[in-house]
Structure 1
């Protein structure tokens, strides 16, 4: 894909420079602290059904910029305004149907998210290639992503040595994903929901166990699948402050 990044809108809010960009057919958002000349960059992977401008992405990005980081998020394939393939449509319908009738969604979500990762990892790398050329952005780089953001983020971090710290969580164990995790040795923080109605805790714990990182921590919180506490974002910011600043 092309590496020519173009900004299509710019705004400044409460000391944060917010820039929307396109890179080929990929849309994304870049948040930067106005008062900082040089800062590390954190990549934010969104969850399924969301996009780079979703409220959780904006909130996390603003917390990171307040701590002195740049933050970037891009729309995953088939998300936001990006066109959906026939497979995207079919898998989305199947997932929604399984949830409606109470069947396990893991057998649908896991292979589909891994398929999205195959498409998204090169896009993330091209985005990082382009952003490295901008003034004010310097390494090291971090990655944060839960749910689908974990399915995409694990193979990305395993592949790209520029990413030196990562936060994952709320996803199933899968042997293909575990093979990527076994190649990751950078510091890792991993969140799981103890009462997740979709992901058995043993499955999530097995994925955490697969990481080869000598520095890794498991954050287990009570609550259902979508009830990850907001204070885990505070923990994410502290984690990147330790390892990137």
Structure 2
């Protein structure tokens, strides 16, 4: 870890992404999108779909299939994705160290907001896997934003939920840190979503960790 970042040490709120950061879902999402596009006779490489995971569905379809496909089939392919993903919900598990991380952040006196643009029932399932309702001060769902990452709206909405001003954003995808940068807040990354160190740093992450326990240890030294 590099020298302490005073901007991070002085944050009042830690905004934590959920999908791919706290719960292991990124590859489930990529497969669900692959199957959804196949319904429209469009075959996209799964690796390409994975690179877009972390965007909301409102952004992803255009990014991977183009504006014309979005105009003609956007809502239908998102509905197909939801149908394909639904059976996988029962397989979703949290990453190791989630509870310790969130507990230690709250013990430091900072507020914790779990920031997701996922469907409310999906978020409800995720939080249930690690008792997130008792460990966070607030959380968000798709109902809280009109535009998803990489737009900054989700970060802004998360802070508004707890009247926060200075945030550290924790996430796993390049889109988390593009959104954090646009919102004017620092970001720390974990590699749990399958993105490389270089990709995450180029997107704006100030620090990159291999796991939640490693990130937790760094935060415990800094957030005192």
TM more than 0.5: no
* Structure of higher RCO (CA pairs closer than 8 Å, 6+ residues apart): 2
- The TM-score, its normalising length taken from structure 1, stands at 0.38
Which structure is higher in helix share?
Answer: 2
Q: Greater strand percent: which structure?
A: 1
